[in-house]
Amino acid sequence: MTALGVVLTLALGSEPNRLTVDTHLHVTMARQVFFFSGEPGSRTLTWSTRPKTTNQVDGDQMLSSGGQLALATIFPPVRLRPGRTSHDEALYQLWQVRKFCREQPQFACVGTAAEARAAIRKGRIALLPSLEGGEGIDSAADVDRVYAAGARSVTLVHFATTHLGGAAADQHTYNVFSKVTGVLNPTGLTETGREVVERMFQLGMIVDLSHASDETSRGVLELAEKHGVPVINSHGGARAFLGMERNIPDDLAARIAKGGGMVGMTASDHQVAQVPDTVKWEGYVPGTCDDTIAHWKHLADVVTPERVTLGSDFNGMIARPRPGGECPDGIRNTGDLNALYDGLVKHGIPKEAIDGMGWRFLEMWEVLEQRADPAALGEAKAADPRPNSAFNVAM
């Protein structure tokens, strides 16, 4: 269905049959780093799989593939300028996401699953603001402030071990040298990390285990299982094929799925390499989206197809699969997702699993909301979402 067809269908009052979700999508990268070019709604869109710093996201393209739901991820809130703390960077970038939604009528920033469903019925793309990296969160009070600023998901750690917990080992080594050592980071969830995760659960927020060490992931899963709430791993590949800690191992993927969570598959060609010959099909082309499909199929076998979702990392400064295989044009931008989905169906992923991944994500979020503490929510909603005066923003 075309984007216009989606809008016309929804105008008649019915919900779309297909609702996909992207659990890791950057829409405001150009507002966060000076060297990135373009964003949804601009006239800049790459038509090559190689550019890492040119916009890869378009609203009409997302609608054409059923993509009316995404986690709008902000860049890690590292301390960039004097007088700007990591926490204030996070609040500022969350403000930028809200500003983007005010300026782009095709998109709607949402704070609840009900708001997401309402936006979808109106033909808009529902964005859940998401914070990648908890460097700026030191306490439960900081969680409240990022919640008040719109965040509904937090990736606890990014490229470096922090006061919250251990990050996956060798991320820089692999990103720069493509070298897999098999080393694991023994650092797990810290006491501060436990406090932060507990507060997120009280607020019905989504905890994302991407980039975390195995020990950090286990610590979070123990808390999640204790509280009976789901978590996600928003964007990655299968460690069974590419053996770096950044990719998810089968046992942790299975625990996430058992708890009602979801595992997201990245569009980064770098992270879905080293597919073994034993799982390749006739005509398989390495370096193309065939690698993505193979990693996706493996995780689907581990957690069931219904628990795997897209976590593209579009605009996350990644290179995407080149042309060939099941995606003749490669994965250049969001317009090539239908070819990827068709390839998945061709190779055994049920179409119903693709078409319904967004609805299942909303159901997962609703479980978190049902477990939330009303008193904690009241405290968080009253928190101050403004960064310090060095940012000079009008809320």
pLDDT at 260 over 60: yes
Half-sphere exposure of 345 (CA within 13 A, CB side): 12
What is the mean pLDDT of the segment spanning 213-228? 98
Distance CA 47, CA 253 (A): 33
Measure CA 286 to chain center: 25
- Which DSSP category does 372 fall into? S
Distance CA 82, CA 291 (A): 43
Task: Classify residue 387 as left (phi > 0), alpha (psi -120 to 50) or beta.
Answer: beta
pLDDT per position as a tens digit, 3-56: 555 544 444 457 899 999 999 999 999 998 899 999 999 999 999 999 999 999
Task: Classify residue 284 as left (phi > 0), alpha (psi -120 to 50) or beta.
Answer: beta
Q: What is the mean pLDDT of the chain?
A: 94
Closest CA to 156 of 104, 228, 208, 194: 208
pLDDT per position as a tens digit, 131-153: 999 999 999 999 999 999 999 99
Prediction pTM value: 0.95
pLDDT per position as a tens digit, 98-110: 999 999 999 999 9
Q: What topology does CATH give the domain 20-35+58-377?
A: TIM Barrel (3.20.20)
Q: Where are the domains of the chain?
A: 20-35+58-377
- Which DSSP category does 124 fall into? P
What pLDDT is attached to residue 10? 47
Distance CA 164, CA 232 (A): 17
What is the token pair recorded at 42?
């601009």
Residue 94 banded pLDDT, cuts 50, 70, 90: very high
28-37, 77-86, 227-236: which has the minimum mean pLDDT?
A: 77-86
Determine contact, residues 90/74, Cβ cutoff 8 Å: yes
pLDDT at 66 over 90: yes
